[in-house]
Structure 1
Amino acid sequence: MPIEPYRRLFALPGVRPLVVVTLLARTPIAAGPMVLNLHVLQDLGQSYTWAAVVSVAVTIGLAVGSPLLGRLVDSVGLRPVILVTTVIEGVFWFTSPWLGLTGLLATAVFGGLFALPVHSISRQAMAALVPEAQRRTAFSLDSMVVEAAFMVGPALGVVVVTSLSGHVAMIGVGSCIVLAGIGLYLLNPAIRSKTSEVATGPRPPRSSWLTTRMVAVLAASSGAVLVLSGSDLAIVGVLREAGQLPWTSAVIPIWCLASLVGGFLYGAMRRSYPSLVLMGLLGLCTIPVAFASQWWLLALMLIPAGLLCAPTIAATSEEVSKLTPESVRGEALGLHGSALTAGSALGAPLAGLAIDLAGPPWGFVAVGGAGLLSAIVAWTLFRASANRAAAKAEAAAA
């Protein structure tokens, strides 16, 4: 039965509370970018360009801070990092409503830099709590939790901003993130497995685990989110051109539901699949969506790509956990988070450029082609590196 692997997973100590707490923590974090954008547009009366600039500032902070916080988790433990990031994020969200645009821009980078690292904490704890044979199911579940948070969080943010105000929404996001930090601090999930033997000597050098294969996995992570964030904008562009923009509220949930189903089925499978293969298929399945011109056809054609979304992210998380020693896994998963952030930041501009130059359908072609190309290039580099290593080993043996 497909449900049986998940029953075995939830039977493991610590998994159930970790899933519940991280789902509650991820929901306000998912709402944050939308609330910030609407605050800039509605409360500050600024343009979409300035809203994008604020988003870029936060994104830069996230990309830089994720591996740094992961390294701190590896060296000083989980609770000190949770404490510091919870306090700083609380200060950011509680003060931002009263800052003007200049003040918001000045603090946005720090808000991203010290963001509560829920995603990497969740994946690092999953890797510690779950035996390697069950990690595909664990990371599939983690991807499904992320999908659920991003289905609910931004929608709730929009409702609060439009029905009350951006100020109320920002205070609400900050309050929920502080509560999430407190929950994570009290839960204090294990980030080292009980059977591990973590070295007490120097940290393994980065060159020992940041190999060509790891870079290929990070490229797949970035490429997957690039396709997803670019497709978001392309969906809006196609529906707007067809005069069917209100149907966005039906098309995107269908797409997200397909991702949840795909993640569930992938977690129930008996074997894992290479992230680069899944990434290439995701890009390949996205390109034909350009032929959809009606909302119902667009929803149907997005289903194959949607089925591959969560499995691709789950596969990259699983591979990162396999390729790194536990003593540096926080930093490695932080780099994974940075790769996801980079892909998210690149996807919408790429799709937007294609839409401006050639029309909305070409947004799908651009991001799907970029995802497929990145998978092919990363696979080629990985194979070339593996062949060189094999040749050196043969020469040494001779």
Structure 2
Amino acid sequence: MRQYRAMFALPGVRALMTVMFFARVPVTAAPMVLTLHVVEGLGRGYGAAGLVGAAATVGIAIGSPVVGRVVDRYGLRRMLVVVTVGETLFWATARFLPFPGLLACAFLGGIVMVPVMSIGRQAIAALVREELRRSAYSVDSVSVELTYMIGPAAAVALVTQVSTVAALSAMAVAVGVVGLALFAMNPRMRAADEDAEPKVPRREWLTPRMVGVLAIGAGAVFVLAGMEVTALATLRESGQLNWTGAVYAAICLASAIGGLVHGAVRRSLPQLTLMVLLSALVIPAGLIGDAWWVLALALVPSSLVCAPTVAATGEEVARLAPAGSRGEATGLQSSAFTLGAAAGAPVAGFVVDHTAPAAGFVVAGMGGLLVAAVAFALSRSRSLAPAPA
């Protein structure tokens, strides 16, 4: 716990972690609100809801590095003004849009989404010295796990107890409040001794090694998304869908414990090793049994590695990216996470639909191992440029 005490004793860290926790709740609720609005509010099917989600995902993947580059060049506050107004307008007007209009605006809304995740990771790199960043990024990953337990559940409750219009309006208010809070807080995006560092060309820091780090981030989320979809399909096939919350709670709890342990030790496993463990441990999960408690126990080993893998990705990006390009680098990391999630769920779902639920775990794990092999090859590339200090 010495690492955590030293990290939280740094100026501004406690306030940053607290604000980022609450700021992420609307981010985690957003996909569920959109899905339920399309299905319940517009009377469309889940396929149509998936199209809206895909449009928003593509927008996020495109917009994240662009928004990060704006932060690098013009500062956090100028970026926040633009994206807060843009995303708030999307949620405020979504209730009035027909399906084709919602589809187009979801793409635009994704581009101007307030980059809460990226801001948190970039601020950690600026506030926390390198020897304590593992602890900081571990707390950050655990915080994300907790918000994913709150946000979607809150969205479902608001839609079922009130209406989709109320959920959309609540999202507009929440995004506006988050933008204002971050604008007022204005966390540092660079450490004091980094302000004078010269601008480093992208080709010098976006090396094969950095690409490998981003690939592992995408692969980790691919595995997680595939694991969650397959777990849901397994429970549905065995008639135990009402135990979904318990299984997901076990997954999140195990991931949080793994993240806390990862952040407490001075030397942890490398990012690539964590990725291999995450992928390999999820493969046999569907072969042990289909009782909900057996499935939950089977997913605990891989879940213990979830938060550490995500935390290690953030730590590596912060280490390899120069301070003047950290916003763009964390934006690319967000794009990698987004694309990994966008690929993992449909790939695992397709396999489950055409074979059996157990095959979804195998495909998710094998996909992660394939990404790990590619990342290993990139790390050994002879064209690797030296990482900037």
Partner of 2:352: 355
Offset at residue 385 of structure 1 (A): 3.0
Equivalent of 2:257, from 237, 256, 261? 261
1:79-138 deviations in Å (ceiling 9; x for gaps): 011111111111100110111111111211111000001111110000000000000001
Equivalent of 1:232, from 228, 234, 237? 228
Percent identity (aligned): 49
Partner of 2:50: 52
1:164-216 deviations in Å (ceiling 9; x for gaps): 1111011111211110111100000011101225335xx32111001010011
Question: Is 2:217 the counterpart of 1:218?
Answer: no
Offset at residue 380 of structure 1 (A): 2.2
Q: Which amino acid aligns with 2:322?
A: P
1:214-269 deviations in Å (ceiling 9; x for gaps): 01100100000001111111011101111111110100010011011111110001
Partner of 1:329: 326
Q: Does the Cα contact within 8 Å between 1:283 and 1:372 map onto a contact in 2?
A: yes
Q: Does the Cα contact within 8 Å between 2:280 and 2:369 map onto a contact in 1?
A: yes
Q: Which amino acid aligns with 1:255?
A: I
Offset at residue 20 of structure 1 (A): 1.0
SS at match of 2:40: helix
Partner of 1:246: 242
1:25-66 deviations in Å (ceiling 9; x for gaps): 100110000010000000100011100000000000000000
Q: Does the Cα contact within 8 Å between 1:212 and 1:385 map onto a contact in 2?
A: no
- Between 1:5-14 and 1:225-234, the stretch displaced more is 5-14
1:266-296 deviations in Å (ceiling 9; x for gaps): 0001114321111111000100101131101
1:336-367 deviations in Å (ceiling 9; x for gaps): 00000000000011101110221111111001
Partner of 2:114: 116
Partner of 1:126: 124
1:119-160 deviations in Å (ceiling 9; x for gaps): 111100000000000000011111111111111100100010
Task: Tell me how far apart the structure 1 counterparts of residues 338 and 261 of structure 2 sit (CA, whole Å).
Answer: 26
Task: Tell me how far apart the structure 1 counterparts of residues 231 and 367 of structure 2 sit (CA, whole Å).
Answer: 17
Task: Tell me how far apart the structure 1 counterparts of residues 371 and 34 of structure 2 sit (CA, whole Å).
Answer: 31
Equivalent of 1:6, from 4, 7, 11? 4
Task: Tell me how far apart the structure 2 counterparts of residues 103 and 198 of structure 1 sit (CA, whole Å).
Answer: 45
Tell me the TM-score normalised to structure 1 length: 0.95
SS at match of 1:190: coil
Q: Which amino acid aligns with 2:245?
A: S
Task: Tell me how far apart the structure 1 counterparts of residues 19 and 279 of structure 2 sit (CA, whole Å).
Answer: 32
Q: Does the Cα contact within 8 Å between 2:204 and 2:385 map onto a contact in 1?
A: no
Task: Tell me how far apart the structure 1 counterparts of residues 261 and 286 of structure 2 sit (CA, whole Å).
Answer: 26
Task: Tell me how far apart the structure 2 counterparts of residues 40 and 365 of structure 1 sit (CA, whole Å).
Answer: 32
Task: Tell me how far apart the structure 1 counterparts of residues 244 and 382 of structure 2 sit (CA, whole Å).
Answer: 44
Q: Which amino acid aligns with 2:241?
A: L
Q: Does the Cα contact within 8 Å between 1:255 and 1:299 map onto a contact in 2?
A: yes
Partner of 1:394: none
Offset at residue 389 of structure 1 (A): 7.5
Offset at residue 381 of structure 1 (A): 3.0
Q: Does the Cα contact within 8 Å between 1:198 and 1:327 map onto a contact in 2?
A: no
Task: Tell me how far apart the structure 2 counterparts of residues 299 and 64 of structure 1 sit (CA, whole Å).
Answer: 35
Partner of 1:342: 339
SS at match of 2:299: helix
Task: Tell me how far apart the structure 2 counterparts of residues 43 and 92 of structure 1 sit (CA, whole Å).
Answer: 16
Q: Which amino acid aligns with 1:56?
A: A
Task: Tell me how far apart the structure 1 counterparts of residues 176 and 363 of structure 2 sit (CA, whole Å).
Answer: 39
Task: Tell me how far apart the structure 2 counterparts of residues 389 and 16 of structure 1 sit (CA, whole Å).
Answer: 36
Q: Which amino acid aligns with 1:114?
A: V
Offset at residue 376 of structure 1 (A): 1.6
Partner of 1:104: 102
Partner of 1:189: 187
Q: Does the Cα contact within 8 Å between 1:234 and 1:363 map onto a contact in 2?
A: yes
Any unmatched runs of 5+ in structure 2? none
Once the two structures are superposed, the pairs formed by residues 269-288 of structure 1 within 5 Å of their partners are 269-288=265-284
Partner of 2:203: 207
Task: Tell me how far apart the structure 2 counterparts of residues 174 and 305 of structure 1 sit (CA, whole Å).
Answer: 36
Q: Does the Cα contact within 8 Å between 2:208 and 2:381 map onto a contact in 1?
A: no
Partner of 1:393: none
1:297-330 deviations in Å (ceiling 9; x for gaps): 1000111111101000000100000101100000
Question: Is 2:314 the counterpart of 1:314?
Answer: no
Tell me the TM-score normalised to structure 2 length: 0.97
Task: Tell me how far apart the structure 2 counterparts of residues 269 and 313 of structure 1 sit (CA, whole Å).
Answer: 16
SS at match of 1:385: coil
Question: Is 2:294 the counterpart of 1:297?
Answer: yes
Equivalent of 2:79, from 78, 81, 89? 81
Any unmatched runs of 5+ in structure 1? 391-398
Equivalent of 1:144, from 123, 142, 145? 142
SS at match of 1:112: helix
Q: Which amino acid aligns with 1:258?
A: A
Q: Does the Cα contact within 8 Å between 1:198 and 1:326 map onto a contact in 2?
A: no
Equivalent of 1:69, from 67, 70, 85? 67
Alignment RMSD (CA, Å): 1.3
